[in-house]
Structure 1
Amino acid sequence: MSSKVAIVTGSNKGIGYAIVRGLCKRFEGVVYLTSRDVVRGEKAVSDLQKEGLNPKYHQLDISDNKSVEVFRDHIKETYGGIDVLVNNAAIAFKQSATEPASVQAEQTLAVNYFSTLSTCEILFPILRNGARVVNVSSSAGLLRNIPNKELRKKFEDPTLTIPELSNLMREYIEAAKLGTHAADWGNSSYAVSKVGLTALTKVHQRLLKDRDIKVNAVHPGYVDTDMSSHKGPLSIDEGARGPLYLALDAPDSVRGQYLWYDTTIASWYDGTPIEKAETKL
């Protein structure tokens, strides 16, 4: 019951897999690799075991509340709580995708925003005081990617609530269904989903401050993964650098921030460096 626990969602491949690898090497506790598909997840664990690492495995589909609840109960009964939660699971349509904007909007936000939100609502009650939550965002999640100035103001509102944020996400889906989304929201459902995730990061930080929980978002860089069609120049281990920094090394003063993959605290609007977080160590 006293073991520390770190969890990475969507971690059977890509950046999530590399985050698990990095945690296994340095985190003083139990590390969980999770995935929707059990066979792929167990294969990933086996591959890491060949490197001399020993992650644990549990099935976890963030789009299925029952799956998340089963996982929560397992962690609570076995260890009592969570010390590090990395929300990595996400989807993205390819640029060549032929699905209409309405379908891309609904499916992308269902996973990247709404399922991440519901996963947090289920798992946050068992976060230990002092825990760290890392949301894997993207440069697509910069506010400048939302063309409408009034919408950007709503996302930046320091009193923004989760219901209000969720309503903004639904407004985008409805606009996509009507075909009126481009002027106000842009043409990328993935970008809107990651703007929503970064906004959620800041709202959650406000809500969890009394428990000394640190919640941050990070752009992992353009990484060579299936999601990028292997066009990214960075390796998955380079992509894991920022998330691992927030999970293990960032000073406690780093809270509710948006970080670049080199661990620079950056402007949420355009990614302009604000300060080098590592200098605070």
Structure 2
Amino acid sequence: MATKVAVVTGANKGIGFAIVRGLCKRFDGDVYLTSRNIERGKKAINDLEKEGLKPKYHQLDVTDKQSLEVFRDYIQKKYGGIDILVNNAGIAFGRNSTEPVAVQAEQTILGNYFALVTTSEILNPILKNGARVVNVSSSYAHLSNIPSLALREKLKDEKLSVEGLSALMQEYVEAAKQGTHAADWGNSSLVVAKVGVTALSNIHQRLLSSRDIKVNSVHPGFVDTDMSSHNGPMTIDEGAAAPLYVALDAPDSLRGQLVWFDKQVVPWDGVKPDREF
């Protein structure tokens, strides 16, 4: 029987690194730590090997279509497809960032949302039937963070397509460039990006259900990482707990949901929990 394979993007540090660690300890198959920077990726592999673990490595830049295609072809030839895909790669500007709002909006949406769209277009076709996809998101992803009722209705519409969602994300970027974004979208580019990630997860679940593929997004908690400017009280291993639960332990009935750090399902368009971490 072919060896199973799990893939984690953006995994040379932080939560992604801890997810690889957890998968190496429990997943019955090969685990790929991927990163944009080869040197940092190899160092991460070496650090895990010192713990007695045996991750594999492949370079992968989720913002580079060619890099994604090279990786897809390699995995398809070697394993016949992917059993677990953890989309962890993402970017965030620090709270004290001085870049203009327009720049932050464009880069944040590109690095978190549009990169996931491209990754999914290239890697989803080689997901094995029954595979699990975990999109690492945030408490920011809760739909209540979007001020406009009209936008919230569009984002949760079950007829929304990837193209329609991408158009909405681009509308936000253009509004940010014009300085007219706040009333409808709020003042956080990361909120919009992570709402987009969860909306995309829901669309992909509808598209992939016929292949018994489970797609969920996860808020890992407020974790001490570069993404949180190291303000989070949780360790990276604590932050990996919910993503690992969704990847390995959740019932097959868990599909198209937003899962909180405590492994509880949170209604995306319901009341946002007050437990951030």
Matches of 1:36 and 1:85, distance apart in 2: 16
Equivalent residues of 1:260, 1:271 under 8 A apart: no
Equivalent residues of 2:112, 2:197 under 8 A apart: yes
SS of residue paired to 1:262 = coil
SS of residue paired to 2:170 = helix
Asked if 1:271 is matched to 2:252, the reply is no
Quick one: which amino acid aligns to residue 109 of structure 1?
A: I
Matches of 2:122 and 2:233, distance apart in 1: 36
Identify the residue that residue 279 of structure 1 maps to in structure 2: none
Equivalent residues of 2:224, 2:234 under 8 A apart: yes
Q: Deviations over 1:247-272 (max 9, x none)?
A: 00000000000000110001213434
Identify the residue that residue 205 of structure 1 maps to in structure 2: 205
Matches of 1:132 and 1:161, distance apart in 2: 21
Would you identify which runs of 4 or more consecutive aligned residues in structure 1 move more than 2 Å? Answer: 269-273
Q: Deviations over 1:119-163 (max 9, x none)?
A: 011001110000000000100111111111100000011111111
- Structure 2 unaligned runs (5+)? none
Identify the residue that residue 16 of structure 2 maps to in structure 1: 16
SS of residue paired to 2:85 = strand
Asked if 1:245 is matched to 2:245, the reply is yes
Matches of 1:100 and 1:267, distance apart in 2: 33
Q: Map 1:25-174; keep pairs closer than 5 Å.
A: 25-174=25-174
Equivalent residues of 2:33, 2:57 under 8 A apart: yes
Quick one: which amino acid aligns to residue 239 of structure 2?
A: G
Equivalent residues of 2:225, 2:232 under 8 A apart: yes
Quick one: which amino acid aligns to residue 272 of structure 2?
A: G
Q: TM-score scaled by structure 2?
A: 0.97
Identify the residue that residue 259 of structure 1 maps to in structure 2: 259
Identify the residue that residue 177 of structure 1 maps to in structure 2: 177
Aligned alpha-carbon RMSD (Å): 1.0
Matches of 2:145 and 2:209, distance apart in 1: 28
Equivalent residues of 2:144, 2:272 under 8 A apart: no
SS of residue paired to 2:228 = coil
Identify the residue that residue 277 of structure 1 maps to in structure 2: none
Residue 95 of structure 1 and its aligned partner are, at CA, apart by: 1.1
SS of residue paired to 1:98 = coil
Matches of 2:116 and 2:186, distance apart in 1: 22
Identify the residue that residue 276 of structure 1 maps to in structure 2: none
Matches of 2:262 and 2:72, distance apart in 1: 32
SS of residue paired to 1:194 = helix
Quick one: which amino acid aligns to residue 62 of structure 1?
A: V
Equivalent residues of 1:87, 1:135 under 8 A apart: yes
Quick one: which amino acid aligns to residue 215 of structure 2?
A: V
Q: How many pairs were matched up?
A: 273
Identify the residue that residue 190 of structure 1 maps to in structure 2: 190
Residue 111 of structure 1 and its aligned partner are, at CA, apart by: 1.2
Q: Deviations over 1:175-204 (max 9, x none)?
A: 001000011101111110000000000000
Quick one: which amino acid aligns to residue 40 of structure 1?
A: R
